[in-house]
Amino acid sequence: YEVNYPTYDLELAAVVFALKIWKHYLYGKSCDVFTDHKSLKFIFTQRELNMRQRRWLELLKDYDTNIQYLPGKANVVADALSKKSGMIAGIKVEEEIIR
């Protein structure tokens, strides 16, 4: 179903997914979320949300999250993780060393 989600929901879904996966480490602690999707940082102040977004917002409120915008080029970690493994030169070198 996620294929039909708008970009905003996909970005928010990624944050929610990460919080659920790492909940044992993040619950009760301050957590900074860096995103290259600028409008996502305004999720807490938006007035009109659909039901899915409201449900996810309630989950975000359970955590001490601080959503910050970081332009894509400045967010090198996320940029590197989003590339295919064959596209990153450093990983190709590691693959050759392993062989």
- pLDDT tops 90 at residue 51: yes
Q: What is the residue extent of each domain of the chain?
A: 2-73
- C-alpha angle with apex 10: 7 to 15, nearest 5 degrees? 130
Q: What is the pLDDT of residue 54?
A: 94
**28 versus 53: which is more confidently predicted?**
53
Query: Quick one: tokens of 55?
Result: 């449900």
Whole-number mean pLDDT of the chain?
A: 81
- Per-residue pLDDT of 58-96, as tens digits, reads 999 989 889 999 887 777 776 676 665 555 455 454 555
The residues near 73 (Cβ < 8 Å, ≥ 6 apart) are: 79
Q: What is the pLDDT of residue 70?
A: 86
pTM across the whole model: 0.72
The residues near 83 (Cβ < 8 Å, ≥ 6 apart) are: none
Write the DSSP symbol of residue 55: H
Query: Quick one: tokens of 20?
Result: 């659920």
